[in-house]
Amino acid sequence: MKEKLLVLDFGSQYAHLIVKRLRRLGYYTEIAAPSISMNQANEAKGIIFSGGPATLTGDFFPHFNKDLLNIKTPILGLCFGHQLLAKMNNAQIGNTNPGEFGLASIQKENNSPLFDKVQFPSQVWMSHQDAVESLPDGYECIASTKDCPYAGIQNLEQKRFGLQFHVEVSDTIAGNTILDNFAQFCRMEKNWDNNTMSSEIIEKIKKEAKDKQVLLFLSGGVDSTVTFALLNKALGQEKVLGLHIDNAFMRKNESAVIEERYKKAGFENFIVEDASDSFLKAVEKITDPQLKRKAVGEHYLKVRDEVTKKLSLDEESWLLAQGTLYPDIIESGESKNAHIIKTHHNRVEGIQALIAKKLIIEPLKDLYKDEVRIIGRQIGLSDELIDRHPFPGPGLSINVLCTTGVLSSEEEREKQKAERKLSELDFQTFKKAENIKNLEFTTRVLPVKSVGVQGDQRTYRFPAVLDISSKTFNWKDIEKISSFITNLNPDVNRTIICLWENEGCVLQEGYCTKEALDQLREVDAIVLEELKKADWYKKIFQHLSIHTSYARDEGRCSIVLRPVVSEDVMSARFAHLDFAILEKISTRIKALDFVDALFYDATNKPPATFAWE
């Protein structure tokens, strides 16, 4: 039997990321439910308790096998898992109100096998509302931060470790070292090679498809492109059909570019269907972001049915394929203990029904974006196909924020509460403590809500706006201020910078129409063009231009720029663009006759998601 480590998934946004990190380090790792049997648990060389959205101070508690606490196998608890180990050993767990989200610095309090070759102080990534408030019986403290006195604990006799921070996130600088140290503590031998991923996936496709043909939703993004290439390698082009749907939500001239690139890559087994009019009708006047995503996802299935009927395809002989990645699944709340952050188009009710009937094939569903790119290169896809910025199925529809133009009475109260708490923050003391100089600003709240993720739970809140007196500033100072705001004001989930704004802007009525999408396409084309000119396109993971109806009049808009840097989608930092590039982008957008304001999203994930919907 193959040696392995086990990650018990308590519903964390990052549970599979732990698996991925350990596999990257060469250790075969599987994920399992917290209710795993003792026989299964005893097969592992080490066990990791993941984070999760549950709270040990509340009523909800995920089911888990408490006998695991008596196992002789080493256990590492992360975030919620850290709190669980502490709680089960008589420690106090409390709500930190409002919590820690983003970067923090840990200090070593005692030596630990986990900290071999780790330099202190060390940058880590936090995302928690609750915290350990007293030392558990038999444990010693091994690490702390200024806001978290028990950021690390251990009981060497019982082979137990707990860390409040997320070692699996790339912004925890020594994360891989700590995980490698834990694997070595477990006496785990290296037994996994990422170079075997593509061949294993191809064999799995053959097994799942059997004698059936496969129809693939082909967006043109790296996920569906790699899926398409793998299906062709596994089954042959004659058994695979790619369906690219022009859904009205593509970037400027995107469908034509995609068609050209696929033909250049030697793909002949795909068709393009123009369904733009029907997709626009499907999202007409929908303001709720969840309902909009679901409408787009369900309409894909309707178009698929229309195409299969038009081509006279025998539905009994065909499977539907998707380029679904694990983040799509976890953010849609499909993991047993996970909370819904946003419903992805490939996880709507109609798709779930097909999954239940085993009529869906998803070769990449256990992988992350960087792993998909590795596979793409392994099977010989070109850089222009592999390095394209992520562009999910709903496309620009989720970047057009829709509103009736009037906040409800409840939203007005939420906005006033956010404004009041923002005004109560002591920025001067914080700036002095963090040695932030030459940064003067005022704050306000933009009357536009967006989706966020804090402590593995979905939020839907207003953003804080910084009106800065100078055109240039230190991005690191902005990052500190942004985290200060979102950590201490739970009623906002983003911090954005106002680059410029025309007088008289208020919330207008606005929906996902062809006119709004055309405006967004023009802006998005400008940003991407300037990023490519300045060799910044490959430096960032993804750029999103966000269209809001905060403007002087109906039919006009304000724009939020959202370039992010990420390795794995589950966490990200906002891009620190060169000011020369930002100035060029700003000037060109200001010349457009329909834009009344330009903002820059300076929020990491968490607490914000990439997109605003």
Q: Which residues are catalytic?
A: 79, 166, 168
| 118 CB-near residues (< 8 Å, 6+ apart) | 108, 174, 177, 178, 181
Alpha-carbon gap, residue 522 to 219, rounded angstroms: 20
In whole angstroms, give the CA distance from residue 148 to residue 521.
45
**HEC readout, 3-43:** CCEEEECCCCCCHHHHHHHHHHCCCCEEEECCCCCHHHHCC
d(CA 228, CA 386): 13
Six-digit token pair at 186? Answer: 């477990």
Say if CB 226 and CB 377 are below 8 A apart. no
Residue 518, number of CB atoms within 10 A of its CB: 13
Residues 575 and 565: their CA atoms lie apart, in Å, by 6
CB-CB contact of 397 with 296 (8 Å): yes
- Return all residues near 236 (Cβ < 8 A) that are at least 6 apart: none
- Conformational region of residue 220, where left means phi above 0, alpha means psi within -120 to 50, and beta covers everything else: left
Q: How far apart are CA 236 and CA 585, in angstroms?
A: 44
Ranges assigned E (strand) in 378-491: 441-445, 450-454, 457-468
